[in-house]
């Protein structure tokens, strides 16, 4: 729907600028295929053959490929070879961002950092390269959509299984190996350019840590815990990459911040799924502005020359279909599972977060109930802060043995509960009996994910709020502190505060 939104806005903006618009789309579930969106609609599949036929008949002034996601981007090079006039970022520069080796060279020339990575074209080289960059790794086939077949691999046995079972690796379709950055904060930056000037659309801090697909992670605009220095560095790097890629139109960058180090994860020289959310938050129709820029209307003449930083917080939350699919594990990872998104707005981050949870049908509990906490060994120190926050909110705590030990040693009262495999009465019994109101369950390796599946399944069935990341639990505690101070704002009034 996000790309549909961009296409519709592009049609409207170009029609207002005096152009006739032609839409090519074969998905009937879209607004861009409505009879009154464009001047002409071709209900054809997005294959090279079909698009070339349409171009032959229509002889367009320009073709926009950066608003339809990954599918039209893949056609860009072939369309250009056939003499199709592509407006916006050039197909060569789109390829420079998509091609691993060219992208690496560009970052090297700009002096920017990337997590250590390699490209494997056969299983043996993958094992050797993994040794060079070290585990854990994020592995994925090149050119994937929605993080499909993407996994976090923690040891050689897992990598061997992945290379033989999950993907068919070859020279034509290599597998990308990236060092996974533990406990990093992921950030999305949307920007637009007319080829001369680059303007930041918005900086979004992900609430879930790196490793969760960006379409599944909640995020906050403006960032709720990043320093101004880090934000300025993100701006500098985004502008440098936009100029190096000669971007005309929209672009999206994904960064990971580990400590004070900023890593570039990827750059997409196209509209991203965050464009409608950013546009709503900053009160400026980015897809329209970028479409005009592609048609040669400068940002200056559109009076869009500087970043708009709202004085309020907008939190985007993903909506998941888990209740409709009993038996599906709710744990979040690099494969996208969400089917929609909502937005909450508030004067502070806590208020905006609570509203986003309400809108996604996940109501945070009233303070004062009982919270269950169980985390992997690497998070035992970090969980103390969450436990203290829950205690301050009036929750009594129960935890599995290892986690309880860490909480107790910090002087926080906690009761011990059995894991399922340790015998009854165990934590799933407590959830079934309605004794648990809030769950934090962070697991890492495959065995722990399997062992704790019953907890997440029962929580889903009983509609108990649960978080599978520490960062999500932190945000929930901030939200529950502001749970009673919810205001209703009109979008018009919010946007008036921007000027």
pLDDT, averaged across the chain: 87
Average pLDDT over residues 264-269: 90
Taking residues 382-398, what's their average pLDDT?
91
Domains 1-87 and 367-482 share a fold: yes
Nearest to residue 307, comparing CAs of 430, 188, 203, 220?
203
Which class is domain 185-322? alpha beta
Domain boundaries, the chain: 1-87, 116-179, 185-322, 367-482
- pLDDT given at position 247: 94
Amino acid 171: pLDDT = 54
Which of 203, 228, 238, 208 shows the shortest CA–CA distance to 314?
A: 203
- pLDDT tens digit sequence for 24-61: 998 888 998 888 899 999 999 999 999 999 999 999 99
Q: Residue 263 and residue 128: Cα distance in Å, rounded? A: 24
Long-range contacts of 158-166 (CB under 8 A, 24+ apart): 158/446, 159/126, 159/127, 159/130, 160/123, 160/127, 163/120, 163/123, 163/126, 163/127, 164/123
- Distance between CA atoms of 361 and 301, rounded to whole angstroms? 43
pLDDT band per the 50, 70, 90 thresholds, residue 362: confident
The CATH number for 116-179, chosen from 2.60.40.10, 3.30.1490.20, 3.40.50.300, 3.30.420.40, is: 3.30.1490.20
Q: Which tokens hold the place of 431?
A: 């959830």
CATH, range 1-87: 3.40.50.20
Reported as a single tens digit per residue, the pLDDT across 291-332 is 999 999 999 999 999 999 999 999 999 888 887 777 777 777
**Cα(423)–Cα(425) distance, integer angstroms:** 6
**How far are the Cα atoms of 209, 356, 492 from residue 203, in angstroms, in the given order?**
16, 18, 22
Q: Report pLDDT for 60.
A: 93
pLDDT more than 70, % of the chain: 95
Query: Residue 199: pLDDT above 60?
Result: yes
pLDDT tens for 139-172 read: 887 655 545 667 788 888 888 888 777 666 555 6
Neighbours of 420 (CB within 10 A): 16
For the domain made up of 367-482, give the CATH fold.
Answer: Rossmann fold (3.40.50)
Q: How confident is the model at residue 238 (pLDDT cuts 50, 70, 90)?
A: very high
What is the 3-class SS of 207-248, one letter each residue? CCCCCCCCCCCCEEECCCCCCHHHHHHHHHHHHHHHHHCCCE
Q: What is the pLDDT of residue 236?
A: 96
For the residues 111-136, what does the mean pLDDT come to?
A: 87
Split at pLDDT 50, 70, 90, the class of 387 is very high
Position 176 pLDDT exceeds 70: yes
Bridging pattern class, strands 117-120 and 175-179: antiparallel
Higher pLDDT, 483 or 14: 14
pLDDT level of residue 12 (50, 70, 90 thresholds): very high
pLDDT in tens, 456-479: 888 888 888 888 888 889 888 988
- The predicted structure's pLDDT at residue 388: 92
């Amino acid at each position: 729907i996000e790309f549909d939104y961009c296409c519709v806005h592009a049609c409207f903006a170009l029609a207002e600028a005096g152009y006739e618009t032609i839409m090519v789309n074969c998905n009937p579930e879209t607004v861009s295929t409505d009879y009154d969106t464009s001047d002409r609609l071709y209900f054809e599949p997005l294959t090279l053959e079909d698009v070339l036929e349409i171009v032959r008949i229509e002889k367009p002034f320009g073709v926009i490929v950066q608003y339809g996601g990954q599918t039209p981007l893949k056609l860009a090079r072939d369309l250009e070879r056939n003499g199709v006039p592509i407006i916006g970022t050039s197909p060569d520069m789109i390829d420079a961002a998509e091609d691993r080796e060219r992208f690496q060279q560009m970052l090297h020339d700009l002096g920017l950092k990337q997590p250590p990575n390699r490209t494997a074209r056969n299983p043996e080289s993958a094992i050797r390269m993994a040794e060079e960059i070290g585990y854990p790794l994020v592995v994925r086939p090149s050119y994937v959509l929605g993080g499909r077949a993407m996994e976090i691999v923690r040891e050689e046995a897992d990598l061997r299984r992945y290379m033989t079972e999950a993907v068919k690796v070859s020279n034509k379709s290599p597998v990308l190996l990236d060092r996974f950055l533990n406990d990093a904060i992921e950030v999305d930056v949307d920007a637009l350019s007319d080829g001369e000037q680059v303007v930041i659309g918005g900086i979004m801090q992900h609430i879930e840590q790196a490793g969760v697909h960006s379409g599944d992670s909640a995020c906050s605009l403006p960032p709720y815990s990043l320093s101004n220095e880090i934000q300025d560095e993100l701006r500098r790097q985004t502008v440098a990459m936009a100029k190096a890629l000669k971007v005309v139109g929209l672009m999206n960058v994904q960064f990971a911040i580990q400590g004070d180090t900023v890593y570039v994860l990827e750059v997409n020289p196209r509209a991203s799924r965050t464009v409608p959310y950013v546009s709503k938050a900053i009160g400026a129709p980015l897809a329209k502005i970028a479409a005009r820029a592609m048609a040669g209307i400068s940002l200056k003449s559109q009076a869009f020359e500087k970043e708009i930083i709202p004085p309020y917080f907008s939190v985007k939350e993903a909506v998941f279909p888990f209740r409709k699919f009993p038996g599906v594990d709710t744990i979040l990872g690099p494969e996208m599972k969400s089917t929609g998104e909502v937005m909450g707005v508030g004067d502070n981050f806590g208020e905006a977060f609570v509203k986003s949870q309400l809108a996604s049908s996940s109501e945070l509990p009233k303070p004062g109930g009982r919270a269950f906490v169980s985390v992997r060994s690497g998070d035992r120190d970090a969980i103390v802060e969450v436990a203290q926050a829950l205690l301050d909110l009036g929750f009594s705590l129960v935890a599995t043995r290892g986690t309880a030990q860490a909480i107790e040693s910090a002087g926080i009262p906690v009761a011990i509960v059995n894991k399922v495999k340790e015998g009854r009465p165990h934590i799933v019994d407590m959830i079934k009996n309605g004794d648990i109101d809030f769950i934090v369950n962070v697991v890492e390796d495959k065995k722990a994910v399997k062992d704790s599946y019953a907890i997440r399944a029962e929580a889903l069935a009983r509609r108990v709020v649960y978080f599978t990341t520490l960062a999500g639990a932190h945000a929930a505690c901030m939200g529950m502190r502001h749970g009673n101070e919810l205001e209703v704002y009109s979008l018009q009034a919010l946007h008036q505060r921007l000027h």
